Structure 1
Amino acid sequence: MALLFKVDDARGPAWLSLFRQHAPDIDVRLWPDTGEPSQVRYFAAWQPPQNLHEQFPRLEVIFATSAGVDQFDLGELPEHIKVVRMLDPGIARGIIEYACFAVLSLHRQIPLYLQQQRERQWQLHPLVPATKRRVGVMGLGNLGAAVLESLRPFGFELSGWARSEKDLPGVRCFAGNDRLPAFLAQCDVLICLLPLTDDTRGILNANTFTSMPKGAQLINLGRGGHLIERDLLDALASGQLSHAIVDVLNDEPPAPDHPFWQHPAIWLTPHIGANTSPDSAFNVLLANIRRHQQGQAMLGEIARDQGY
């Protein structure tokens, strides 16, 4: 039984070292050194190559090295191959750090003050109390719930939206498409942490922005496919939105002439919200392999019909 990793050069040796130290019974291989293909039962990657099941005929589980699996072509994979997303606690910590930095920066008007610094302008602006700032999160899975919990101590008025009903302490929860406009109407700051599915693709669009309060702000920590970039530019130009912090794009890296690079109302970061670390993810991955070996359900196994 072998576990094959297809990861970048820096993290591959770290995974190999951890398994050799703590689980020497598992034969770990690093792509492209696949060894005997029929021995590969597990495959771990950000994005697997095409026809993976044909290359490894006894493959049983694909582990995504990410919190989402939208980069996978699930339709290509046979139903018997299980797909498991990464529940690395390090991912949650990274997303929490980024979300808190982004919300607090917008709340304290840091983009405005940085612009004033560039213009050598010394001017104070009224401070809105956190209790008067409404922060909403789209997507109430593990990451969304963790972000909302981390924002609670600041005193923001918190809300969340998901496809199905959720109940989170201190959070006003909305569910379903019928309740989306009501949710958006009370979001001064909107954070997208949705999984990317056919239902959520392009959800950050002109209709969404129009439903938000005038001058609201956007943080996209989901996927580039959630955002209609032209609609964001139009919303910023009209003043419907006042600022956006964007960590993910459809095309990464963006072209040199992409309008986000120099836009005065957009902070753009290179998909740094969170990264899987072998040190923090190892125990989760190993525990799932042991569960599978014992015929138990694995944590993070996706539902094919939902895509997450």
Structure 2
Amino acid sequence: MERMVADGRVVLTPRGQIRLKRYLSESSGQLSRILKSIPTAAHARELAFTSLFIPEFVSALGYADSETLYDVGAMHADVVLAPAVGARPWIVIEIKNRAAHLDDRSLRQLRTYMLELGSLFGVIIGSSQIAVDDGETVELLNLADLSDADTIGLLNRLARWAQSENEIKPGRVAIADLIAQVETASTNQDKGRSLEDLASLLFSDVPSLHCKYRNLNTRSSEIDLVIEYRGSKLNIPLFDELGRYCFIECKNWSSPVGVAPVRDFLGKLRKSKTQLGILFAKNGITGEGTGLDALREIQSAYDRDGTFLLVFSLADIKQVKDGADFIALLDQKSDNLRFDL
């Protein structure tokens, strides 16, 4: 240890943890060797392959044993890399060591795990391929053709030191960051994604709620976010009353949302027999006397069949400090609609 300190190979983190400094060329060479050895061990049973491969793989990426968790979540993801048990993971890893090629079914399964756990990256290890999913695109690499540039690219995205930029910030800090992104987004794609990210964060900060699907394409429509309620950690009266699912629609528009999009959203709720929908509208909705009375349409839907469509503007979200604040505001808005306040 004294020699490593003298050589500048030991670093203390701001929290006082000891880290071993490794140079990119060293880590790249180690990772390349490990990945290229996969085909020779791919015939092993999955458990044996996992116990042999994963410790070396995550060590090459710079993760500690305490940050490597196995068989995680309700869907039993093979491996996750996370700051601690119960924390939002950086990476979900699925092992398909006997699969010669990684097909669409495996990639869809990985994306489902990522959505369930809220991870930033997903990785599938096959017998001859590795796939990396960042939530938007999938990079598929053939292990036999793996170049130095490919390995360095994997390190730049997946290594432990790279996650310092992807740390999940707690409470108000993370919400404020995403509010700033919503306000400054310029392209339509960035506008939509930033508001969806903000909506997803607000729900993921609440125990018992998580984002099950994002941009879900059905036979007849697209749903921005589908939130699932699991009441084992925290009972939420509104969800206990209205059921398991909640639909989210996000409109990062420069003007209030009118009656036509509101009717469309109510149609999605009725078709799926979902009683709760939340519209995140940057500048709110049109009100009485505008000629496009979205507010009246929402009240009429509740009076007619008990459908709750609650509206959150960006001004509303700026009042929220954390998940508890968000649930309190959700409860207040549901009372406003129920009692026609």
Compute the TM-score of the two structures, normalised by the length of structure 1. Answer: 0.28
* Higher RCO (CA-CA < 8 Å; seq separation 6+): 1
User: More helix per residue: 1 or 2?
Assistant: 2
Bigger Rg over Cα: 2
- TM score, norm. by length of structure 2: 0.26
